[in-house]
């Protein structure tokens, strides 16, 4: 899984969010390292929706503008959990090797 | 609220996205873009503009359904079974017309000898060219009439004729007497063989005609013109002994036409299947010199042959890769998908 997709799923793990909320949350989660722009975000949302990892939660109008909220599907939640476990295992293995090397 | 000028410019940029995506996400994306713009900004940032265009391109080239879908391939073959003979026929006629007009206007003997030296060549030569051109004409007419089996038979006869002739003349000491220049003509082998397969393996041209939209016919027209120009171009390279302004210009025109076809086609899974099928036909065009040792000029042959192989191999690899990723994603295996 690519990092932007992982971060988008992570942003939605705590609850539904709209597009701009996901963008700001991803920047926060990644400590400012990953800044999604609209084109990248919506290409990712389109792909993740097609893969049935997220879905539309609800819509609202704020200041005459449409806000669409997205939420994780059960498949998206399991996928995020599996990816988290995989990254954790990799990080643990890397840390162990570094300790063995005396770093 | 940000200035109206900025919103209008964002709206223009959002037109790069496919129509169905715009219908669902345009207002929402506009909201996000306006919300993230700094106050007072009147033009989109360059980085945002590029990002939007790349995002649109990503969505356009992504298949909306698995390319391996069997009924999708049947539909694509049905479209191919009618569009391919029409394309080959019209491109051949355009090429012939250009040569005749060129000869009339300049009074010079033209470089596309295969079409113009009919009077000076053997009966078998004339018969072969007649079978090629009129055979494609017959396939096109029968396909347009929706007569699948008759069209398949009309395509299979030249396929067998030229196939056997090519094998005998190229790989055995035997010669059946067909001038090698006939076998040089692009599509001679690839078109009838691929058309026969499409006609037999699909519900047929009647369905293909129903599936063809006005835009698809326009693409066939553009493809015909591009194929005709590139055909003449290959011949010109060999006859003129190298590349010049004319050849470079025609090559660029052909590449632009090809890119136009790809951009328009690659926005859907159906379009991708068609692009792959027509790449096989294009492979015949690009490789026409590579199939046969044309006047011993292996430099040009190898270049054309290699270009054809690269195009087809890339397309096949891309489709296989996407299909594999989509199938893994659908089955939910670990580490799956391109997410």
- As for the ipTM of the complex, it is 0.84
- Domain co-membership, B121 together with B148: yes
Measured in residues, chain A has a length of: 103
Interface with A, mutate which of B12, B24, B27, B32 (most A CBs under 10 A): B32
pLDDT (0 to 100) of residue B151: 92
- Domain co-membership, B75 together with B123: yes
B61, B83, B103 - which closes a domain: B61
B61, B85, B103 - which closes a domain: B61
pLDDT, one tens digit per residue, over B211-233 is 888 878 888 888 888 777 776 66
pLDDT over 90 at B270, yes or no: no
pLDDT over 50 at B338, yes or no: no
Mean pLDDT score, B291-308: 45
What is the rounded CA–CA span in Å between residue B300 and residue B165? 24
CB contact at 8 A, A89 and A99: no
- Domain co-membership, B122 together with B46: no
CB contact at 8 A, B276 and B312: no
What is the rounded CA–CA span in Å between residue B119 and residue B121? 6
B194 domain-assigned: yes
**Residue B57 is part of which domain span?**
4-61
B12, B38, B61 - which closes a domain: B61
Mean pLDDT score, B148-168: 84
Give the CA distances from residue B35 to residues A20, A57, A80, in Å, rounded to whole numbers and listed in that order: 7, 21, 28
CB contact at 8 A, B301 and B294: yes
pLDDT (0 to 100) of residue B176: 63
Q: Is the dihedral of CA B200, B205, B206, B210 positive or negative?
A: positive
CA proximity to B150, closest of B158, B159, B141? B141
Is B28 close to A68, i.e. CB distance below 8 A? yes
Give the CA distances from residue A25 to residues A6, A33, A70, B47, B109, in Å, rounded to whole numbers and listed in that order: 12, 12, 13, 20, 71
- Please tell me the distance in Å from B218's CA to the nearest CA on chain A: 29
How many pairs of residues across A and B have Cβ atoms under 8 Å apart?
Answer: 86
CB contact at 8 A, B323 and B66: yes
Contacting residues of B for A8, CB less than 8 Å apart: none
- Domain co-membership, B219 together with B107: yes
Burial degree of B32 (CB within 10 A; 0-12, 13-18, 19+) = buried
Is B58 close to A23, i.e. CB distance below 8 A? no
Q: What single DSSP character describes residue A32? A: T
From the list A2, A39, A65, which residue is nearest B51 (CB)? A39
Is the overall model pTM greater than 0.80, yes or no? no
- Please tell me the distance in Å from A13's CA to the nearest CA on chain B: 16
Measured torsion, CA atoms of residues B117, B122, B128, B130, in degrees rounded to the nearest 10: 60
- Domain co-membership, B50 together with B169: no
Is A39 close to B62, i.e. CB distance below 8 A? no
pLDDT over 80 at A16, yes or no: yes
Contacting residues of B for A68, CB less than 8 Å apart: 25, 28
Q: In this complex, is the C-beta atom of B133 within 8 Å of any C-beta atom belonging to chain A?
A: no
CB contact at 8 A, B286 and B304: yes
pLDDT (0 to 100) of residue B19: 81
Half-sphere exposure of B248 (CA within 13 A, CB side): 4
- Domain co-membership, B110 together with B26: no
A17 backbone dihedrals φ, ψ, rounded to 5°: -145, 155
Express as a percent the part of chain A with pLDDT over 90.
56
- Domain co-membership, B132 together with B29: no
- Domain co-membership, B148 together with B216: yes
From the list B25, B48, B62, which residue is nearest A47 (CB)? B62
Is B29 close to A68, i.e. CB distance below 8 A? no
Q: In this complex, is the C-beta atom of B59 within 8 Å of any C-beta atom belonging to chain A?
A: yes
Burial degree of B7 (CB within 10 A; 0-12, 13-18, 19+) = middle
CB contact at 8 A, A36 and A22: yes
From the list A1, A46, A65, which residue is nearest B21 (CB)? A46
Contacting residues of A for B56, CB less than 8 Å apart: 39, 43
- Domain co-membership, B49 together with B182: no
| Residue where the block lists tokens 């992504």 | B62
- Domain co-membership, B96 together with B214: yes
Searching chain B, which residue's CA lies closest to the CA of residue A40?
B55
Question: What's the domain count of chain B?
Answer: 2
- Domain co-membership, B168 together with B299: yes
Domains and CATH numbers, chain A: 3-100 (1.10.10.10)
């Amino acid at each position: 899984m690519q990092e932007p997709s992982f971060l988008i799923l992570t942003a939605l793990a705590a609850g539904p969010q709209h597009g701009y909320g996901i963008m700001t949350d991803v920047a926060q989660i990644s400590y400012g390292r990953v800044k999604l722009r609209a084109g990248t975000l919506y290409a990712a949302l389109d792909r993740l929706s097609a893969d049935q990892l997220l879905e539309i939660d609800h819509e609202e109008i704020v200041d005459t503008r449409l806000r669409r909220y997205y939420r994780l599907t059960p498949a998206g939640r399991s996928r995020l959990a599996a990816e988290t476990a995989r990254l954790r295992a990799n990080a643990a293995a890397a840390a162990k090797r570094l300790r063995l090397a005396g770093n | 609220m940000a200035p109206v000028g900025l919103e209008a410019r964002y709206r223009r940029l959002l037109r790069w996205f496919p129509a169905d995506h715009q219908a669902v996400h345009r207002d929402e994306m506009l909201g996000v873009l306006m919300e993230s713009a700094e106050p007072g900004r009147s033009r989109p940032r360059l980085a945002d503009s590029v990002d939007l265009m790349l995002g649109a391109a990503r969505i356009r080239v992504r298949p909306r359904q698995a390319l391996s879908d069997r009924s999708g391939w049947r539909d694509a073959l049905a479209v191919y079974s009618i569009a391919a003979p029409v394309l080959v026929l019209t491109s051949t006629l355009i090429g012939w017309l250009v040569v005749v007009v060129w000869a009339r206007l300049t009074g010079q003997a033209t470089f596309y000898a295969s079409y113009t030296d009919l009077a000076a060549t053997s009966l078998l030569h004339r018969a072969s060219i007649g079978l090629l051109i009129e055979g494609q004409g017959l396939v096109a007419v029968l396909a347009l009439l929706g007569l699948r089996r008759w069209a398949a038979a009309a395509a299979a006869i030249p396929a067998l004729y030229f196939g056997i002739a090519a094998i005998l003349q190229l790989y055995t000491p035997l010669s059946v007497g067909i001038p090698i220049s006939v076998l040089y003509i692009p599509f001679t082998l690839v078109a009838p063989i691929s058309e026969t397969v499409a006609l037999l393996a699909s519900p047929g041209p009647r369905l293909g005609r129903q599936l063809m939209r006005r835009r698809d016919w326009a693409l066939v027209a553009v493809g015909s013109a591009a194929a005709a120009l590139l055909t003449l171009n290959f011949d010109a390279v060999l006859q003129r002994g190298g590349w010049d302004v004319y050849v470079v210009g025609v090559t660029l025109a052909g590449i632009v036409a090809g890119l136009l076809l790809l951009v328009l086609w690659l926005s859907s899974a159906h379009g991708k299947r068609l692009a792959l099928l027509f790449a096989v036909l294009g492979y015949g065009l690009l490789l026409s010199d590579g199939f046969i040792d044309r006047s011993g000029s292996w430099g040009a042959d190898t270049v054309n042959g290699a270009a054809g192989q690269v195009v087809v191999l890339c397309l096949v690899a891309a489709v296989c890769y996407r299909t594999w990723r989509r199938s893994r994603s659908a089955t939910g295996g670990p580490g799956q998908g391109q997410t």
